[in-house]
Amino acid sequence: MATRGVAGKESGTKHELTEADQGGFYFTYGPYADPRLKIDPGDTVVIETQDAFGGAIRSESDKPTEKTNHPYLNPQSGPVFVKGAKKGDCLAVHIKAVETRGPQPAGTTCLIPEFGGLVGTAATATLNAPLPERVKKVVIDEEGVHWDDLVLPYEPFIGTIGISPEIEAISSLQPDYHGGNMDLPDVRPGAIIYLPVQVDGALLYVGDCHATQGDGELTGVAMEQAATVTLTVDLIKDWGFGWPRLETEDFIMTIGSARPMEDAARIAYRELTRWMAADYGFEELDAYMLLGQVGRVRLGNMVDPKYTMGASILKKYLGG
């Protein structure tokens, strides 16, 4: 994987970006922020992230609507400036680890009025009364995520990661072509996420780690946790494309975010078709027909301002 990077297999410097280093967190992905760290391609960064509520929900008697203040939700660490990155390049971010941090119970999930997959929302606007607020705080330890009598598997991933758009400052609640709040469980340790650079230095942001999450993040809130994230960041020159891509040992994936949901699927599959054509020797319609037989789709979120889907194909079908 990722042998095209500037750094190649050279291991670079290791940097830390603690909560104290960070100072103010960001709530948009944009070029108007001051970089918190400058690194070289190949360097590793260990970043402390807050949970999506900035740690404000501390007990099950807290009310999310009282403890949070829109639009100051989903705080992001960074941005990290990557030297040499230019528009048209690709940032290759190898996710090394996502570790729970902070006091127990470390996991927070909740019901927020007019937010979630099975309720009327700000966009799917209804006159129905909202559901009640409800908070659940759970212990996350080496056994897993303790949910009442159940132990759910600890399957951590990064809910929100991406680079700066060229001129927009996009809310950290939203996923789009720049990455952002994709809430896609495949963005997990072991994977490399490829992000299309739009500005000098790329400006990498990260936050919103989840200890576990179901497909679609049904309630709009996964098992939110503060985390320590370890990333090795490389740069691939002159590899431009429209939407985030991802690679693991077994598969390659393209990620689309849109409403309605079918457009997220269309974007993801078109990007995958194009990737197969550009880098794996397929004629475009052959790729399309093969994906009809073996393509796979993962629903990231069905709750954010855009819905996110990943389309993938196993590497064993890519030949070579």
Site for a copy of itself in 232-251 (CB under 8 A): 242
> Is residue 295 at the binding interface for a copy of itself, with CB under 8 A as the rule?
yes
Q: Report, in Å, the least distance between residue 94 CB and a copy of itself.
A: 26
Segment contacting a copy of itself by CB under 8 A, of 42-50, 74-82, 120-128, 230-238:
120-128
Give, as ranges, the residues between 183 and 242 that touch a copy of itself (CB under 8 A). Answer: 212-223, 242
- The residue from 28, 108, 232, 308 that contacts a copy of itself (CB under 8 A) is 28
Planar angle of CA 31, 82, 85, nearest 5 degrees:
80
H-type helices in 280-318, by residue range? 284-294
DSSP of 204-221:
EEEEEEES---TB-TTS-
47 membership: H or E segment, kind and range: strand 44-49
Number of residues that bind a copy of itself (CB under 8 A): 83
Pattern 85-114, binding to a copy of itself, x per CB under 8 A?
Answer: ------------------------x-x---
Q: Report, in Å, the least distance between residue 8 CB and a copy of itself.
A: 31
Strand partners of residue 99 = 228
> Is residue 128 at the binding interface for a copy of itself, with CB under 8 A as the rule?
yes
Residue nearer to a copy of itself on the CB measure, 219 or 232: 219
> Is residue 63 at the binding interface for a copy of itself, with CB under 8 A as the rule?
no
CA distance 74 to 53: 6
Residue nearer to a copy of itself on the CB measure, 196 or 216: 216
Segment contacting a copy of itself by CB under 8 A, of 12-20, 199-207, 225-233, 267-275:
267-275
- The residue from 23, 24, 103, 319 that contacts a copy of itself (CB under 8 A) is 319
Q: Report, in Å, the least distance between residue 11 CB and a copy of itself.
A: 35
DSSP of 77-136:
EEEEEETT--TT-EEEEEEEEEEE-SSSS-EEEEE-TT-STTS--SSS---SPPPPPEEE
Q: Report, in Å, the least distance between residue 234 CB and a copy of itself.
A: 26
314, 251 Cβ separation under 8 angstroms: yes
> Is residue 284 at the binding interface for a copy of itself, with CB under 8 A as the rule?
yes
- What are the C-alpha distances in Å from 216 to residues 189, 244, 276? 20, 18, 26
CA distance 25 to 166: 20
Residue nearer to a copy of itself on the CB measure, 8 or 242: 242
> Is residue 266 at the binding interface for a copy of itself, with CB under 8 A as the rule?
yes
> Is residue 125 at the binding interface for a copy of itself, with CB under 8 A as the rule?
yes
- The residue from 40, 99, 200, 263 that contacts a copy of itself (CB under 8 A) is 263
CA distance 235 to 194: 9
Among 5, 7, 304, 298, residue whose Cα is nearest residue 180: 304
For the chain, the straight-line distance linking the first and the last C-alpha, in angstroms and rounded, comes to 14
> Is residue 149 at the binding interface for a copy of itself, with CB under 8 A as the rule?
yes
